[in-house]
Amino acid sequence: MIDLGWSEAQTMLRDSARGFLAKEAPKSVIRRIESDPLGYSPALWRQMAALGWLAMPFPESVGGVGGSLIDAGLLAEELGRACLPSPYIHTVAAGLTLLEAGRTDLVAKIIAGDLIVVPAFSEADPRPIPSAVKLAMTPVSDGYRLSGLKRFVEYGDAAHLLLCSGRAGQAGSDDAVTLMLVAGDAPGLARRRLATTGGDPAAELGFESVLAAAGDLVGERDRGWPIMERTFNRLCALRAAEMAGGTRQVLEMTVEYTKMRVQFGRALATFQAVQHICADMAIMADGAELAARQAVWAMDRGLGGNFEVGAAKAFAGQAYTFAVSNAVQLHGGIGYMEEYDLQFYYRRARSEEVMMGTNEDHLERVARALGL
Amino acid sequence: MDFSLTPEQESFQKQVRQFIHEHLTPELRAEVEREQYAIGPLGKQFVRLMGQQGWLGIGWPREYGGQGRGAIDQWLFLEEMALENLPTGGLTLNSAGPTLMRVGSERQKQEYLPRILTGEIEFAIGYTEPNAGSDLASLQTRAVREGDSYVINGQKIYTSAAHHSTHIWLLARTDPKAAKHRGLSIFIVPIDAPGVTVRPLATMGSERSNEVFFEDVRIPAGNLVGEENRGWYYVTMALDFERLMAHNRTRRYLEHLMDYARSTVVDGCPLSRHPRVRIALARLAVEVEVLRLFSLRSAWMIECGQVPNVEASVFKIFMSELNQRIAVAAQDIMGPYATLRAEDPAAPIEGRLEKLYRSFPLYKFAGGTNEVMRNIIAQRGLGMPRG
Ligand SMILES: Cc1cc2nc3c(=O)[nH]c(=O)nc-3n(C[C@H](O)[C@H](O)[C@H](O)COP(=O)(O)OP(=O)(O)OC[C@H]3O[C@@H](n4cnc5c(N)ncnc54)[C@H](O)[C@@H]3O)c2cc1C
C-alpha cells in the first residue's frame, strides 16, 4: 500500500537525530573536523553507535536492531541537514555487503562502533563503470598482491578497512571484477588525503605490493561486479538522501533569512523575485527528497535499483547545487563569508555532486537502465 | 557598420601585449593567482611600473597626466590585462579618480590625482554597511561637522581593499533629516586616521575582505568631496565611469577548460573529441563571444559620448551567470577532478576551475546584485513600471 510518509517510530527517530546533531554537531564542531587530519570525529562516531545508528539496518541475529535501509536513509537526510562529515553511509553500505558475504564478525564490530569500512571503488578514471576498475590483484601463494591506485575514496585515509575492487584474472570481460578487504594500515599502502572543495576527506590510495589473504576475498574471484554494483547503489541512494537533506536545510535557512533581512523598508521575502527563486528551490528540494527516498526504498526491497538510484543521485545532485547557489545569492554578502554557515553547504554540494559518479555518469546509468 | 579595429588600435593592442610579455614574471603570475581580488607586493610593483610608463592613466585627460585615449583603447588595454588576470588600478583609477576630476577641489586634485597615477594612492570603496546593501541609500554611518573638521562614527562592511589601501572613499550621512538619498556625502578618509579600525573577513572564495569601524574619526573639512549632501549623485556618477568592463577573465576560464579537454584522454581519445564535451564547450564559446560583444558595445557607446546603463547591466548579469555556467560545465567535464584545490598535487590547471566554483557567486551580487540589475533592465530599459 502506498505510504510516502514516515512511521511514528521513524518520526521519533528523526526528531531525536535532529536534536542530537543540533546539540553535538554545531558548525563550530564541523569547522574543527574539516581541519582535522582524520576528517571525522571519533567521539561523535562512538555516540552514534551508542544511539544505535550503526545497528540500524542490520538484523537482530547479528546484533542489529532489525530496522531497514530506510531508517539509515532517514539518518542520512539528517546528517546532510547538519552537514556533518562522517563515514556513516559508507560504513552502512559496505557493512551490508559484508553481512551478505557472511562476515558477521566484522558486522558486530561495525555495530559496536569499533570498525569503519568504506568502499574503495573509484580510480584515476573515476567513472562508476566496470572498465574503469584497474587495480591489479595478482594471485600469489596464499592470497593476492595488490598494485595500483585508488582516488577520490571518501574517508579512505581514516577507514580501518577498505572494500576494494580490482582485477585478479587475466584480461577477461569488463565485468570480471574482484572484491577484496584491505586493512587501512596494510604495509605497502600509501594513503593521502586530497584537498577538495568540500573539505570532506576524499583520499588517494597508492597500492605497492599490498598483500591480502585469500580469506579477505568478498564474494567470488572475478564475479564481484554485481556485488560492487549493489554496494555502490546502496551508497549512492544514501548519498542522494544526504543531499536531499542538505537541499532542504539550505532552503529553510534561506526562507528564514529573507524573512528577517530588511532592505528598502521591507523584508526581502516580500519581493516576488525572491519568492520565485525560493519556490524553484522548493520544487527541487521536494523532487530530490522523493527520488532519494524511492531509491533507498528500492535498495531496501532488494530491487536492482539502477534506474531509481541513478535518477536520485543525478536529481539530488542537481537540486543541491541549484539550492546552494541560489541560497548564497539571496543571502548576499553574508552568505559568501567564511564565518557564516551557508558556505559549508555550498562547498559540500559541489563535492557530493561529483563524487560517487557525476550527474552525467548517473544519467548514463539511467540511459542504460532504459535500454537505450 | 564595422566590427574591426583601426590600424592604430591594432598597433596599440600589440604594444600592450608586448608590455605584458616583458613584465609578467612567473612570480607575479603566481601571486596574481593567489590573490585574485587583492593586490600583493609584486602586483603593486607592477601597478607602479605601469604608472611610470603612463599606462595607468591611458583614459585620463592629458591635463591630469593621462594619455587621453578613447574608450576603445581603454577597453583593449583592460582586455589584455584581464586575459592575464593582471591588476589595472581598479576603482581608484576608473571610478574615484574621474569623479575627483569633475567635482574635487583644486587642492584635492593636486594632492591625489598625480599620486593615483603613479599607484601611490589607492582607495578602498566604503559604501556597503551591515544594514545597507542593495538599499545603499539607507546607510547610517554619520559625519558631523565640527568647526574645520568632520567627525565620523559608524561601520562599513565588505570594504574589500581596505587592508592594502591608503584611503577610504567613504559614503556617510551628513543630514539625517533629509530624504535618504539627499543626506549623503563623500569623504576621503586616510586609512591610518585615529579611530579607524580594519578587521579582516575571510570569504569562501579564499579572498580577504574587511569590516571597517569608525570611532570619533576626525578629518579635515577639506576632505569632503564636492558639495555636502550631494554624495548620492556622485556615487551614481562614479558608477557611470565603471561601465567599461572587460570580458577576458571569463574567456580565460573557458580556455582552461578547453585545455583540460584537449589534454585528458578518456576511452582512447581526448575529451575534446567526445561529442557531448565538444558541444558543451562550443556552446560556452558562443556565449563568451556574445559577452565580448556586450563589452564592446559598452566601449563603443562611451566612445560615442553615451552612458551605457542598461547595457552595463546586461553585460554584468550575462558575465556573472556565464561564469557560473563554466563552473558547472567544469564539474560535468572534469568530474571529481573539478573539486581539487590548487594546493593538491593532483589538481588540474592549478585548481583554477575549482576556485571559480567557490568565487563565482561573488560576481552575481557584488557591485549591485543581479536582481537589482534585472530591475534596471526591466524598468529603465523596457519602460516597465516599478513594483
Ligand atoms: C567579497 C565582497 C567584496 C565586496 N566589496 C565591496 C567593496 O569593496 N565596497 C563596498 O562598498 N561593498 C562591497 N561589497 C558589497 C556588495 O556590493 C554587497 O554585498 C551587495 O551590494 C549586496 O548587498 P548585501 O550583501 O547587503 O545583500 P542584500 O542587499 O541584503 O541582498 C540579498 C538578496 O536580496 C536580493 N534583493 C535585494 N533587494 C531586492 C529587490 N528589490 N528585489 C529583488 N531582490 C532583491 C538581492 O538581489 C540579493 O539576492 C562586497 C561584497 C563582497 C561579498
Higher pLDDT among residues B50 and B267, named by residue: B267
Q: Whose CA is nearest to atom 2 of ligand 1?
A: B158
Residue with cell 555550498: A346
CATH of A226-369, one of 3.30.1360.170, 3.10.50.40, 3.40.190.10, 1.20.140.10: 1.20.140.10
Query: From CA B278, how far away is CA B112, in angstroms rounded?
Result: 51
> How near does any CA of chain A get to the CA of B295, in Å?
24
Cell numbers linked to A115: 570498525
Say what the ipTM of the complex is: 0.91
> Which domains does chain B show, CATH number per domain?
7-88 (1.10.540.10), 124-232 (2.40.110.10), 245-381 (1.20.140.10)
Q: Quickly state the pLDDT bin for B266 (edges 50, 70, 90).
A: very high
What are the residue ranges spanned by the domains of chain A?
8-114, 119-221, 226-369
Which chain B residue lies closest to A125 (C-alpha atoms)?
Answer: B266
> How near does any CA of chain A get to the CA of B241, in Å?
24
Query: From CA B140, how far away is CA B328, in angstroms rounded?
Result: 39
Q: Report yes or no: B188 and B225 within 8 Å, Cβ to Cβ.
A: yes
Distance between Cα B322 and ligand 1 center (Å): 19
Q: Quick one: pLDDT at residue A253?
A: 98
What residue type is assigned to position B11 of the chain? S
Q: Report yes or no: A309 and A237 within 8 Å, Cβ to Cβ.
A: yes
Query: From CA A7, how far away is CA B312, in angstroms rounded?
Result: 55
Q: Quick one: pLDDT at residue A171?
A: 64
Q: Quickly state the pLDDT bin for A97 (edges 50, 70, 90).
A: very high
Residue-wise pLDDT for B182-217, tens only, equals 999 999 999 999 999 999 999 999 889 999 999 999
Chain centroid to Cα B261, Å, comes to 30
Which residues are B214's β-sheet partners?
B154, B196
CA B202 to each of CA A34, A100, A188, B131, B207: distance values in angstroms, whole numbers, following the listed order: 16, 48, 40, 19, 6
Residue-wise pLDDT for B138-162, tens only, equals 999 999 999 999 999 999 999 998 9
The CATH superfamily label for domain A119-221 reads Butyryl-CoA Dehydrogenase, subunit A, domain 2 (2.40.110.10)
Averaged pLDDT of chain B: 93
State the helix-helix crossing angle for B7-23 and B71-83, rounded to 10 degrees: 30
Residues whose CB falls within 8 Å of the CB of residue A93, separated by 6 or more in sequence, listed in order = A119, A231, A232, A234, A235, A238
Residues 276-315 of B with CB under 8 A from A: 276
Cβ count within 10 A of residue B195? 15
Cell numbers linked to A292: 532519494
Which is it for strands A161-166 and A143-154: parallel, antiparallel or unpaired? unpaired
Which is it for strands A202-213 and A143-154: parallel, antiparallel or unpaired? antiparallel
Q: Which of A273, A325, A338 sits opposite B204 (nearest CB)?
A: A338
Q: Quickly state the pLDDT bin for B35 (edges 50, 70, 90).
A: low
Closest C-alpha among A251, A243, A262 to residue A325:
A251
> Inter-chain contact A194–B365, Cβ cutoff 8 Å?
no
Query: Phi then psi for B126, rounded to 5 degrees?
Result: -105, 75
Q: Quickly state the pLDDT bin for B277 (edges 50, 70, 90).
A: very high
Q: Tell me whether residue B371 is one of the annotated catalytic residues.
A: no
Residue-wise pLDDT for B344-378, tens only, equals 999 999 999 999 999 999 999 988 899 999 999 99
**Range in A8-17, A315-324, B112-121 the model is least confident about:** B112-121
CA B276 to each of CA A312, B5, B245, B336: distance values in angstroms, whole numbers, following the listed order: 22, 35, 32, 18
Q: Is B365 on the interface with A (CB under 8 A)?
A: yes
> Inter-chain contact B338–A354, Cβ cutoff 8 Å?
yes
Residues of A within an 8 Å Cβ radius of B: 122, 125-127, 151-152, 194-198, 202, 204, 262-265, 271-274, 321, 325, 328-329, 332-333, 335-339, 343, 346-347, 350-351, 353-355, 358-361
Q: What is the share, in percent, of chain A residues with pLDDT greater than 90?
A: 95
Higher pLDDT among residues A104 and A200, named by residue: A104
Pocket of ligand 1 (CB under 6 A): A 261, 263-264, 268, 271, 273-274, 329-330, 332-333, 336; B 125-128, 133-134, 158-160, 203, 207, 209, 362, 365-367, 369, 371-372
Residue-wise pLDDT for A152-196, tens only, equals 999 999 999 999 999 998 767 888 999 999 999 999 999 999 999
Q: Quick one: pLDDT at residue B36?
A: 62
Residues whose CB falls within 8 Å of the CB of residue A272, separated by 6 or more in sequence, listed in order = B387
Residue-wise pLDDT for B284-300, tens only, equals 999 999 999 999 999 99
Q: Quick one: pLDDT at residue A286?
A: 97
Query: From CA A158, how far away is CA A40, in angstroms rounded?
Result: 8
Q: Model pTM greater than 0.90?
A: yes
Residue-wise pLDDT for A250-274, tens only, equals 999 999 999 999 999 999 999 999 9
Query: Phi then psi for A131, rounded to 5 degrees?
Result: -70, -15
Q: Is B370 on the interface with A (CB under 8 A)?
A: yes
> How near does any CA of chain A get to the CA of B354, in Å?
7
DSSP state of A269: G
Q: Report yes or no: A141 and A213 within 8 Å, Cβ to Cβ.
A: no
Residue with cell 563568451: B288
- B162 CA: nearest ligand 1 atom: 8
As a CATH number, domain A8-114 is 1.10.540.10
Averaged pLDDT of chain A: 96
Q: Whose CA is nearest to atom 4 of ligand 1?
A: B158
